[in-house]
Amino acid sequence: GNTVVPTDQSGNALLYAYEGSEDVAGKVILTMPPGKKMDHLGMKIQFIGRIDMSLGVHEGRPHYDFISLSRELAPPGVLFQSHTEIPFLFKNMDKEHESYQGRNVSVRYFIRVVLERKFLPPIHQELDVWVQFLGTPPQSNEAIKMEVGIEDCLHIEFEYERRAHHLTDTILGKIHFLLVRIKIKHMELAVIRRETSGDGVAAAAAQQQVASAQSNNIFTETQT
């Protein structure tokens, strides 16, 4: 399948999407101008799973490769055809993490093709893929309640329709003002995405407001 993923340039990229246990297969297409040829020292393809950390490092490195597989596509030789297709297959892989694109950390899977050349830098091309784990809805998804407030001044109870939500669900709930002894100018509800990467003193946190709603009703001093 395919999935649309936001890019750093505020656009969207269409990527091939795979489940965690699904094989990754395809073909590498090489094109050359007619009548041209190229001597090479071999061509290989790699499947890499990488954790990138923009604000931190892992053992002294800005990224950590938890998967690194390599296959030979072609031995040393000469390319002379204007169009060449070479199939590839990566199977029985344990893709332990879902793809993720955050503020400080991202989990990235990509395919890299490398063509080695004599006396010249290698030619390489990368293509990202997206890995997702398709779970099942929880058997128990009961409503939840929580209370916040200021002692003897404000007592608010939040009630959510259910604990777990699908990404496309509408979040429904109620807010009960159990005690109000102060003036309230406005009320705002917000959905916050919070990301924590690293651990200990090296932990970095980032949060993003993904949705909000505001009420400008003014509450007078009341008690219930």
Task: Convert the pLDDT of each residue in 114-156 to its tens digit.
Answer: 999 998 999 999 999 999 988 788 888 889 999 998 988 999 9
**How far, CA to CA in Å, does 222 sit from each of 71, 119, 154, 175, 181?**
72, 82, 10, 16, 6
If you average pLDDT over residues 55-63, what whole number do you get?
63
| More confident: 65 or 214 | 65
Q: What is the pLDDT of residue 4?
A: 59
Least confident residue range of 4-8, 30-34, 217-221 = 217-221
Mean pLDDT, rounded, for 72-82: 92
- The β-bridge relationship of strands 204-215 and 187-197 is antiparallel
| pLDDT at residue 88, rounded to an integer | 95
Q: Is 86 exposed, middle or buried (0-12, 13-18, 19+ CB in 10 A)?
A: middle
Strands 154-160 and 173-180: antiparallel
Q: Please state whether 59 falls in left (phi above 0), alpha (psi between -120 and 50) or beta.
A: left
What would the pLDDT profile of 166-214 be if each residue is shown by its tens digit?
Answer: 888 888 888 888 988 888 888 888 889 888 877 777 777 888 888 888 7
Among 89, 96, 111, residue whose Cα is nearest residue 19: 96
Rg (CA), the chain: 26
In the chain, what are the domains?
A: 2-132 (2.60.40.640), 144-223 (2.60.40.640)
How far, in whole angstroms, is CA 65 from its chain's centroid?
16
* Helical segments of the chain, H only: none
| pLDDT for res 217 | 59
Measure the CA angle with vertex 114, ends 112 and 119; round to 5°.
Answer: 155
**What pLDDT, on the 0 to 100 scale, is given for residue 169?**
87
β-sheet bridge partners, residue 158? 146, 175
Average pLDDT along the chain: 85
pLDDT at position 221, please? Answer: 47
Residue with tokens 């002692």: 151
